[in-house]
Amino acid sequence: MYEMHKPVDLFWRLDDYSFTVNANLQRVYDVKGEARRDLLLRYFNGQLPFGLPEDWLGPSLPRADREFLQLAYHHFAAGEFLPDRRPGEVEIARIVLETRPRQVVAVYARHEAPGWQVRLVDENGGQSLGAMTTLLAWRPLSRQDLVDFILDGFDLVSMLQHKVTGEVRTVEDMHPLFKGFSPFDWGFDRALKQVIAERLKWSDWPGYPKAAE
């Protein structure tokens, strides 16, 4: 586990996008909805005093349930409208924006010889994304490459720029605004925020992450 106050190695990469977790945890990571992931994790850990409908244990909710959440409890619908994964795809990373309503942008990948087909998706049919949403990589992406791919396709930096001179002045200040998550890399959130700080040219500001030694 990395330490939140220290930078991470942006050149680190996996050997493969294969799950090595137990079956229940993999089922949690297969779920599209962010709130439902938290609920399922508590369910599998025996922390819920009630059961869950079988429909809520799969990757996608039935359309009627998704639409109900969107209308009645939109905060809990984040992620539920991501597109279905194609055969062989896994979700390798996601960003959850604490907007109203919350938004989720995700990265899917699958092995296609001789490399990996990677795509960036959102919950609006690509409307919040730019032109760069697919990538063919010869091997799993480094942290730097993965974050660059996301930020080139989803302009999170511009969304943050108006806050630069206000309440957001360090990497830690970004935490309440959004979070990054990868089931394959616990350092992904920190890597994402390091690269954003670099793009915002915070090199002379408190909290700017120096290069990992």
Helices (H) and strands (E) in the chain, counts: 6, 5
Instruction: Provide the pLDDT for residue 213.
Output: 39
Q: Kindly give, in sequence order, each residue whose CB lies less than 8 Å from that of residue 109, ignoring residues fewer than 6 positions away.
A: 17, 89, 90, 92, 116, 117, 118, 119, 140
Q: Determine the Cα–Cα distance for residues 53 and 15; give it in Å rounded to an integer.
A: 36
Specify whether the CB–CB gap between 188 and 3 falls below 8 A: no
Instruction: Provide the pLDDT for residue 162.
Output: 62
Show pLDDT as tens, one digit a residue, over the chain (213 residues). 445 557 889 999 999 998 777 888 889 999 999 999 999 999 988 898 888 888 888 999 998 998 898 888 888 899 999 999 999 999 999 999 988 888 999 999 999 888 999 999 999 999 999 989 999 999 999 999 999 999 999 988 887 766 555 566 667 777 788 999 999 999 999 999 989 888 887 654 444 444 443
Instruction: Provide the pLDDT for residue 201.
Output: 73
Instruction: Provide the pLDDT for residue 168.
Output: 62
Q: Which two tokens mark 51? A: 């059961």
Q: Kindly give, in sequence order, each residue whose CB lies less than 8 Å from that of residue 87, ignoring residues fewer than 6 positions away.
A: 110
Specify whether the CB–CB gap between 124 and 105 falls below 8 A: no
The alpha carbon of 197 is separated from its chain's Cα centroid by a whole number of angstroms, namely 18
Instruction: Provide the pLDDT for residue 100.
Output: 81
Global confidence as pTM: 0.87
